[in-house]
Copies of this chain bind each other. A is one copy, B any other.
């Protein structure tokens, strides 16, 4: 059977040594052996986040941790600013509304990013705003936001700065503490190279004041329970043990390389993929392309979902499609986590073949040539 290349922005391929680690006989979670693993994981996550703050591990998808970032700090009627420039920014707004929190939206066109000055204006116009909620990499549009610049503005106010780094961490540059982020939210199945099932929140000192004032009900995602358990290097509820064990291995690999080097590797892949697309005459959706994932517009008249299906069926390459309003218009290829140079080159080769098969006119080989100029043979 030909090798398969999973190029989706989550899950990303899980390296074999991590899969084998998770396949060992399971151990109990209330043991010294597991406690040592969980300590290593927590320390390793802090290095990835570049934070001295606590990082809590939830057994949930990333959405659970997004919910945690709202229910732990808000009360009904509180106002938060939400940057909505794609599916995941909108989700912050949906969660807030479900909990009776007022959303002050900063809507940006899909594929573009927020202007920091607009955040400044909104903060001025709305004193008492509880937080600014935004995204490092908006996966649905493959766009990276200027989290550092927004951080400069938010940190001068009483508002909390909450950033979804679920698909950005490990591919787009991120500095939790230096950029003044109060809560960063991550998931396991992207840059962290393990299967989905775990989510994480870094939590700053500034957050705890808001926690004390928050009257929204919560239990499973209650930060206070996680803080109390963390003091004993534990979680309040049974963790997804095997995923935590896999994460220990993944973090060892990532931190041995060094987070900046990991990001540099994925940046090269992202650049290679984007240059390949341009060489083949294809346009990108995003004005500010992320290094975690690239969204490529299909040629006029070509159904993106048909292209994706052909690539999966005939070439074993899995790209993701467009979401919501972008469905059928583009495909997305990721560059993070277990996706390496081989994935990048082979997927471009397959893309060339599939496009030729579908009758698109371009210079065959131009995509691979552009990519190898950056990545080497």
Contact = CB atoms under 8 A, between A and B. Distances in A.
Interface of A: 4, 6, 8, 10-11, 13-14, 19-20, 22-31, 59-64, 67, 94-95, 98-100, 187, 189, 195-197, 216-222, 237-243, 312, 318, 320
Contacts of A10: 238
Closest 5 pairs (CB-CB, A-B): A197-B240, A23-B23, A61-B237, A195-B242, A19-B23
Most buried by B among A94, A218, A237, A243: A237
| Integer count of this chain's copies in the complex | 2
A318 B30 CA distance: 11
B61 A197 contact: no
Contacts of A238: 10-11, 61-63, 187, 189, 196
22 contacts: A6-B26, A6-B27, A11-B27, A13-B26, A22-B22, A26-B195, A28-B320, A29-B196, A59-B196, A60-B220, A61-B220, A61-B238, A61-B240, A62-B237, A63-B220, A67-B219, A67-B220, A98-B218, A187-B238, A196-B239, A196-B240, A197-B197
Nearest to A245: B195
Contacts of A195: 26, 240-243
A261 to B, nearest CB: 24
